Structure 1
Amino acid sequence: MPLRSAPPLPALLVLLFSALLAACAASPVREYTEPAKSEADDYAYRLLTLENGLQALLISDPDTRKAAASLDVMVGSGDNPPGRGGLAHFLEHMLFLGTDKYPDAAEYERYITEHGGSRNAYTSFEHTNYFFDINASYLEEGLDRFAQFFIAPRLDADYVDREKNAVQAEYQMGLKSDPRRGLDVLQAVMNPAHPYSQFSVGSLETLADRPGAPVREDLLAFYRKHYSANAMRLVVLGAEPLEELEKLVAPLFARVPNHDYEPEPMAEPLFEPASLPMKVTVQPQATLRQLQVNFQVPDYRSRYRAKPMAYLGNLIGHEGEGSLLLALKREGLAEGLSAGEGLSWRGGSLFSVTVSLTERGVAEHERVLRLLFSYLAMLREEGPQRWLYEEQSELAAIDFRFREHGEPMGYVSALAGGMHYYAPRDVLQGPYLMERFAPELIEEALDRLRPALAQVVLTAPGVPVDRESPHYEVPFGVTTAPALASRWAPTDVASLHLPAPNAFIAEDLSLVPLAADNPETPTIALDTPRTRIWFRQGKDFRTPRGALYVNFRSPLVSGDARAVAAAMLYTRLLTDAVNSFTYPARLAGLDFSLYKHARGVSLRISGYNDKQQVLLEQLLDTVQAPAFDRSRFESLRADLVRGLENAVAKRPVSQVIDDLREALLYGAYGEAALIEALRGLDLAAIEDYADAFWAGVSAEALLYGNYPQSAVAELAAALADLLPAGDVPALPPLEVLRIGAGESLQFVTDVPHDDAVVSWYLQGAGDSWRDRAATALAAQVMKSGFFQELRTEQQLGYVVSAFSWPQFDIPGLVLLVQSPSHDAGHVAGAMEEFLDEVLPSLDNSRFQRHREALVAEIEEPDKNLFERAEFYWQSIAKRQYAFDGRRQLAAAVNDFDRDEWAAYFREVFREQPRSLQVVAPGARGVIPDNIGRRVTNATAIKADHDTWSVDQY
């Protein structure tokens, strides 16, 4: 056989050159995985493991209008260096403020906002999660700016000094927040050797420069150690095919340095064994009455296919017959209960049972504890039940099988955080998997849920205290004694037992055939003097679910504070009366709500449609013949009053917005008026109110989803017994304060907090589509610059926002700042100066970008059946029966060019503003001057004004 001759020299050179090119273009991807996905999920997925260890999940949705991305770093406040409380949180703030490639601190915020997006981040004990969304065609540029956070951030010294003030403002904002105060106490009584005992938020004190240790150097060291590619998980959702997303993502994030960081295990227990059992008493800011029982259990996150704690949380938190909560309610001790894992760490987890107590429950909290431990003893005696586990497993599997799409930014953020705990193939299905019944794990966990191992926190006014927490100065007390366990020992309670099999689990998950004449939007399928039913089968979202909404309209839900209070209390009583059977329905994927709204009472049932009719009939049977218990009435009324009293513990900005809403809306009442009305209502008055309500009610309903046409007649028959005959009483119009052109009002409100708050409301000139569009454009144009100037540059406070705020479609614009560092006069002056610069800083190209971004937001398609149902329901309420409100608003926005909009802005918001400024002066006590007429309550504002009369809802 002859030997082959060598190839000619040019061919060798070609081969060598090709090999070099291949080496230069080597893929940065080490491994590919295709995650298991739901059969209803039409997204395409690909998981990449890059050579630097970073895992990136790519999601392709060709129809999306919004792209989104999230990167989660396995580092959090539990990793703060000793003595540097809040450093991880501070670093999260700093990464937004400039990178080597994009050094302008405003660049990222401005680019995202001008292209229809939003951005944020959070720091937890174990994670720091960054996320944004943007109009889909701008993903590449947005992602490049985002990636630089993790490639080359500047951590500019000037902004290090400034942004410490934002962290301080966030810390001060939480000084009256009971959740943050409770965490401060929990950290104070933890094992000091556990990393979670460190201060999480940070302050000027903990982030101060120190001799030989400037905080910027600590930031850089922290970043270099922890922000390693192998500790990062990335999720990117875009309209591009997977191949194009990979070409965009892989080379970009392959540049993230890998320091081979491995989080250290946290071997120390959260509570030192000798300190248990422990009882902590905490005095809250609000009239909070709560009992929390915490237990240290193993970290079961790697056993996600078994989920032993999900099994236990489901049973302990159950609310049906035989449950712990029902026993507590029957004894008048509690109003609510939840159970599940809270804090987790590398080595353990905290399983918590939280009980919302009545006044009697506070006084008899040790009886509550004995009942809890009796329930746990019953679970140990019964042992793990395979049928209960399989029931939970079936429900989880159904939910995953028919998982619907949601808002992209929230989806990618949740996935990025979860990727740390699931195998690559399981990153989508991991949260739903319950396929390995492991009784030994359940028994192991149950064995930790004993009185001798409990840490109990009783939070209520007047409890005994003898010390203060270090950062929030919370009064609390601690008792550690073995004798506590015997006082909480189980007792024999016959009413406690395992739940019955869930009768609401959907059995028929088939899809109803679509009718040939199924309309493009809902149409009126039944119209009588008392009942109108809109109907449409779900065409775009083919799942075995449906939305059944009924609005019971009555003139008796508004008019005065007594009517409003009666409607609130009546719906609360009805919801409580049906809870024992609606809770299993909720577990089975049937959501239910009953609530008061502006024109009546709304009933909503949504979820798998198979058992909806069964649930509706049981609900309406209770509505027709309720048997309200007097003790439950007293407890629920007290709970409503307590909730209103607790308004003083809400964030100051929330209180000010509540006051602004009360000033604008006729029929809206403040807490004091509602509390007085509630205290004047007894059970007989509520029963009389219910009779009068149903005597004059009419119903409008929507059926949308997997329903046959026959569902209309079934719903009509179910409603018939509730609705009276005769003429329908007229409903009074809804009214919104009408502020005159050039009129300026100032409402000074009392908010018990040191921070100053200014909420400046500017009303549009009218209620036409043009007015709505111009006002929405103003918010879009302003929001990024307002945040950047007043928060980042001027450091006026942590809460800085400009947004559109229509009330019953009367357009309005709100500028909002909460400042711990400046008085209200200074804040109002900064707002004025900013408004003066809006037009000079807005060229035509920026205006066009903002206009495009707003139109994209308005026209963003619904992601699932329930978003579409909500759009239909709101359109019906607003009498927009063509269901074209989005199209009309988008068209009105597009009709503006820069000069026309500038003329509207100048006239309506600057030269002749319709202005209402709500001010909480805070500790500095300064009230902005030269504002106009000053009032001190909402009633005075509404007493002498014209109104916008709105015929909707």
Structure 2
Amino acid sequence: MPHPSLPAAEHVVLDNGLHVRLHHEPRLKRAAAFMRVAAGSHDVPAAWPGLAHFLEHLFFLGTERHSGDHGLMAFVQNHGGQINASTRERCTDYFFEVPVSAFAGALERLCDMLGHPRMTQAEQLREREVLHAEFVAWSRDPEARHQQWLTSALDAEHPLRAFHAGNRYSLPVPRDSFQQDLRSFYRRFYQTGQMTLCLVGPQPLEQLRAMAEKVAGALRPGDTAEQLAPPPLVGTPGEAVERADSSRFNLLFACENLPRGATQALEFLGTWLGASQHGGLLAELRRRQLVQSLELSTFYSFADQALINIEFKLTPAGETATALISQLCFDWLEFFQAHDDWQGLREEFRLLNERRLQVASALELARHHSDETPCELSRQAVQALREVLEQLRPEHLLHPMEAGPERDLAGRWRLPPRNRFLRPSRRPDHPVADPQGLAYWHGASAHSHEAALHLRWRVNASRHQGLFRTLQDSLRKLTEEARQAGVQMVFSSLGDDWQLKLSGVQAPIPALLEQALELLAIPAPEVWHQAGQEPPSATLTPIKELLKRLPDHSLGYFHSRTSDEDLRPLALQKLWGAARWDGLAVGMDDGERSALNNALRKMPGTASPHLAQPHPAHSGRSWSHVPCQSSEHALLLFCPVPSQSIADEAAWRLLAQLCQTPFYQRLRGELQLGYAVFSGLRQVAGRTGLVFGVQSPHAPLADILGHVQTFIETLPTLVEACKPAALDTQREELANRHERSQMDLLPLADLLWQACQAGHGADYLAALQRAVRELRPSDLQQAAQQLASGTGGWLCLATGPAVEPAWLPAQRSLPGR
């Protein structure tokens, strides 16, 4: 694969003091902005915990120029973009990604909201309740309790020990002293001396610079404000906190006096500590069946301080062997430190980072470049790594380990080998014919280095969950190698199908597929030794658990335990022998196409290009009770389109776009139901529908459902009230968003795969665009009425039983599934 040219970049300081980093990346179809403000939760007056987070929320309430439907959030959502913000200990980030045509408008709104927030008391009081709902959810979250335990050994005066989330009690909005400090914090930190703006997109640097110069005038000019240094990490600990989660084992190091370059040094160390290749720490711990995974992360970093966390997700056997895990970890760290220069790994690290950036989205690139981290490990970072390793010793642990029996651990370690998928693979000498079951569709550009492959096997998957988990384990190491090579590899189960998806840099995809098919057909003996062991699933928030269950439930599949499943190699061989498969490749050039076809010769099962089947018609209202380990209530309503016609899909896509902002404003802003409120379009196995989701810490399910239903019933009126000009704009925006040449390849491939599963042909995208542009107000009105009347049926997933007799119970899944 030819080495892509490096994108043009520029770092300028504007006349008002704003630092701007510009990156021109021609392959992108969208543009992104990332604004970092050097002020966070540890910079607020101690009297008002949560003030920085509260201010972040207030900005999104709009300005005199841009509010409501014209504010930043509504603008980005209406253009099919994504937007968010994050308040951390010492900085606050605001970021979005939109189509290029909407970038200037979104950037103008971002700077306007940071430079001219309204912050009326009435709005503050409403938004404080949203923040309180977040706090309630956070306080009940097992992850929050685990973090409290992690930091419990820190010095009692360190701000990491304090409460910073904010709630209705820590944010006394009516008090004059609070209002004075809120505005004082804003004036001190929200000015150009504290801000860095990073812009990334396909636009030329001159155009990006001109946009930054045009909008930066909305920001308050100012100089850099000093952020106070924190006290030492270790000192007099506060009140002890009991460790709550025995399935997680943490080695947490309090590091002081770290040199510049430590951030990149820790990224380098984490890459090799978590490597799954033979001879590494993770491979050895898995061989002993002690851990499922391990990860090194920087829990906190500011000035010369850092909390470095090595976390192990334990197996049941590992929960009683933490002393041995600790010894093995420290032994590996000593082995790694002894290599000192790490020259070979430094070259590999550069290749990994370059490959990662080749497939990064505009927003991922903006986040990366905002830190100005080079791909190659700098000399400064090498020296920092040496000093970091000196501090990663047992005496620096915040939670000391009891000494276990001494073991002879020497001689088992090896440095990770080179990733074979980062280098060119051999291609077939002659063209290889396309297999019967695979369709090839064009990507967004004939010269893109990205591609995607979707494969599907029909295997009665719902009856073979144990074999599915076995195959997931078989692919685990290869999945990590693929990720490092710039390819996302996902093996999933949906309804009666197993699916394999590979997407990213196209050059390694054929070789990865060939290896994956071998591992799927004949898993290694050690994989079979662990067959039948069901790993503990991560605890999700209620609304995320409902979203996870939605695909299977919407197709009528409800997992149940299959303890008598045959989990032997012969059973897998029989299953593959009876399997039928099809697939779709998007964006493959001719050379990789032959290599892919050659790899598909190892495909298990029989090619069957006609696996797409119509979904059964739905009517009425079905309720699926999904128990969750939370006191909060959550509800997810899925409303399928009444038919699979492209005309109906077009109307419902536009309807989803129109109702997204009003739904959010009504249920989150006005009714204050909670912080997790959203709506949008979803596709599952080719079936399209609208989804409405709410999680609330206080509202019962009956109230949540009532508010959602009331909103849906008002949609015909909402559509009728749309001005023709506004509707024309929304329609054209939606059509343009589905222009092939304007779509990033990976979302394009996902969309085309959904079309393939629905039985549509290669002209689907053009037909969808035509259908959108031909939509009349009466078509949209009909779609709104169909949605309100439940013509396509309604499926409700909720954390409790049905609240009305009109809802019929769906097939019930067994507990724990």
* Alpha-carbon distance, 1:229 to partner: 0.8
* Alpha-carbon distance, 1:583 to partner: 4.8
State the secondary structure of the residue aligned to 1:888.
helix
Q: Which amino acid aligns with 1:492?
A: D
Question: Contact (CA 8 Å) 1:799, 1:817: kept in 2 or not?
Answer: yes
State the secondary structure of the residue aligned to 1:302.
coil
* Alpha-carbon distance, 1:162 to partner: 0.6
Decide whether aligned partners of structure 1 residues 756 and 769 sit closer, same or farther in structure 2, where only a CA change above 3 A counts: same
- Report the counterpart of residue 542 of structure 2 in structure 1: 652
- In the aligned structure 1, how far is the partner of 2:511 from the partner of 2:720? 62
Question: Contact (CA 8 Å) 2:10, 2:22: kept in 1 or not?
Answer: yes
Decide whether aligned partners of structure 1 residues 186 and 77 sit closer, same or farther in structure 2, where only a CA change above 3 A counts: farther
- Report the counterpart of residue 257 of structure 1 in structure 2: 220
Question: Contact (CA 8 Å) 1:760, 1:916: kept in 2 or not?
Answer: yes
- In the aligned structure 2, how far is the partner of 1:710 from the partner of 1:867? 20
- In the aligned structure 2, how far is the partner of 1:583 from the partner of 1:125? 31
* Alpha-carbon distance, 1:750 to partner: 3.9
- In the aligned structure 1, how far is the partner of 2:148 from the partner of 2:124? 25
* Alpha-carbon distance, 1:109 to partner: 3.5
> Map of 1:887-902 to 2, 5 A cutoff?
887-902=766-781
Question: Contact (CA 8 Å) 1:696, 1:729: kept in 2 or not?
Answer: no
- Report the counterpart of residue 783 of structure 1 in structure 2: 660
> Map of 1:101-112 to 2, 5 A cutoff?
101-102=65-66, 107-112=71-76
* Alpha-carbon distance, 1:374 to partner: 1.9
- Report the counterpart of residue 638 of structure 1 in structure 2: 534
Q: Which amino acid aligns with 1:496?
A: R
- In the aligned structure 1, how far is the partner of 2:485 from the partner of 2:331? 27
Post-superposition CA distance 1:125-152 (Å, at most 9, x none) = 2321112344544444433322122222
Post-superposition CA distance 1:517-554 (Å, at most 9, x none) = x9xxxxx93345xx6575989963354x765x473624
Decide whether aligned partners of structure 1 residues 385 and 633 sit closer, same or farther in structure 2, where only a CA change above 3 A counts: same
Decide whether aligned partners of structure 1 residues 542 and 131 sit closer, same or farther in structure 2, where only a CA change above 3 A counts: closer
- Report the counterpart of residue 738 of structure 2 in structure 1: 858
Decide whether aligned partners of structure 1 residues 43 and 330 sit closer, same or farther in structure 2, where only a CA change above 3 A counts: closer
| 2:765 counterpart (886, 893, 897) | 886
Post-superposition CA distance 1:82-116 (Å, at most 9, x none) = 14222111111000113244466964444444444
Matched, 1:346 2:298: no
- In the aligned structure 2, how far is the partner of 1:619 from the partner of 1:133? 33
* Alpha-carbon distance, 1:439 to partner: 5.5
Matched, 1:412 2:320: no
Matched, 1:326 2:283: yes
| 1:540 counterpart (427, 446, 451) | 446
- Report the counterpart of residue 692 of structure 1 in structure 2: 574
Q: Which amino acid aligns with 1:436?
A: R
Question: Contact (CA 8 Å) 1:747, 1:938: kept in 2 or not?
Answer: yes
| 2:348 counterpart (369, 392, 399) | 392
> Map of 1:213-232 to 2, 5 A cutoff?
213-214=177-178, 216-232=179-195
| 2:294 counterpart (315, 337, 341) | 337
Decide whether aligned partners of structure 1 residues 896 and 602 sit closer, same or farther in structure 2, where only a CA change above 3 A counts: closer
**Superposition TM-score, scaled by structure 1 size:** 0.76
| 1:574 counterpart (449, 474, 480) | 474
* Alpha-carbon distance, 1:383 to partner: 3.4
Q: Which amino acid aligns with 1:282?
A: R
- In the aligned structure 2, how far is the partner of 1:333 from the partner of 1:184? 25
- In the aligned structure 1, how far is the partner of 2:457 from the partner of 2:722? 46
Matched, 1:99 2:15: no
Matched, 1:669 2:558: yes
Decide whether aligned partners of structure 1 residues 162 and 721 sit closer, same or farther in structure 2, where only a CA change above 3 A counts: closer
* Alpha-carbon distance, 1:67 to partner: 4.4
RMSD: 4.0
- In the aligned structure 1, how far is the partner of 2:675 from the partner of 2:467? 37
Higher Rg: 1
Decide whether aligned partners of structure 1 residues 698 and 120 sit closer, same or farther in structure 2, where only a CA change above 3 A counts: same
* Alpha-carbon distance, 1:814 to partner: 2.0
- Report the counterpart of residue 157 of structure 2 in structure 1: 193
Matched, 1:364 2:268: no
> Map of 1:159-558 to 2, 5 A cutoff?
159-209=123-173, 213-214=177-178, 216-237=179-200, 241-272=204-235, 282-284=243-245, 289-297=247-255, 302-303=260-261, 307-380=264-337, 382-396=338-352, 398-399=354-355, 403-404=357-358, 406-416=360-370, 418=371, 422=372, 430-436=373-379, 440-456=383-399, 484=401, 487=403, 491-494=407-410, 496-499=412-415, 501-502=417-418, 504=420, 506-508=422-424, 525-527=433-435, 532=438, 534=440, 540-543=446-449, 549=453, 551=455, 553-558=457-462
Q: Which amino acid aligns with 1:814?
A: V
Question: Contact (CA 8 Å) 2:25, 2:201: kept in 1 or not?
Answer: yes
* Alpha-carbon distance, 1:319 to partner: 1.6
* Alpha-carbon distance, 1:387 to partner: 3.0
> Map of 1:898-917 to 2, 5 A cutoff?
898-906=777-785, 908-911=786-789, 913-916=791-794
- In the aligned structure 2, how far is the partner of 1:608 from the partner of 1:913? 42
Q: Runs of 5+ in structure 1 lacking a partner? A: 1-37, 423-429, 457-479, 519-523, 941-953
- In the aligned structure 2, how far is the partner of 1:159 from the partner of 1:596? 45
Post-superposition CA distance 1:797-842 (Å, at most 9, x none) = 1111121223333332222222223333333333343332423532
* Alpha-carbon distance, 1:869 to partner: 5.3
Count residues in correspondence: 810
Decide whether aligned partners of structure 1 residues 630 and 583 sit closer, same or farther in structure 2, where only a CA change above 3 A counts: closer
Q: Which amino acid aligns with 2:447?
A: F
Question: Contact (CA 8 Å) 2:612, 2:756: kept in 1 or not?
Answer: no
Q: Runs of 5+ in structure 2 lacking a partner? A: none
> Map of 1:900-939 to 2, 5 A cutoff?
900-906=779-785, 908-911=786-789, 913-916=791-794, 918=796, 920=798, 928-929=803-804, 932-935=806-809, 937-938=811-812
- In the aligned structure 2, how far is the partner of 1:42 from the partner of 1:370? 43
- Report the counterpart of residue 40 of structure 2 in structure 1: 76
- In the aligned structure 2, how far is the partner of 1:266 from the partner of 1:122? 21
- Report the counterpart of residue 618 of structure 2 in structure 1: 739
- Report the counterpart of residue 647 of structure 2 in structure 1: 770
Question: Contact (CA 8 Å) 2:660, 2:680: kept in 1 or not?
Answer: yes
- In the aligned structure 2, how far is the partner of 1:536 from the partner of 1:896? 26
State the secondary structure of the residue aligned to 2:34.
strand
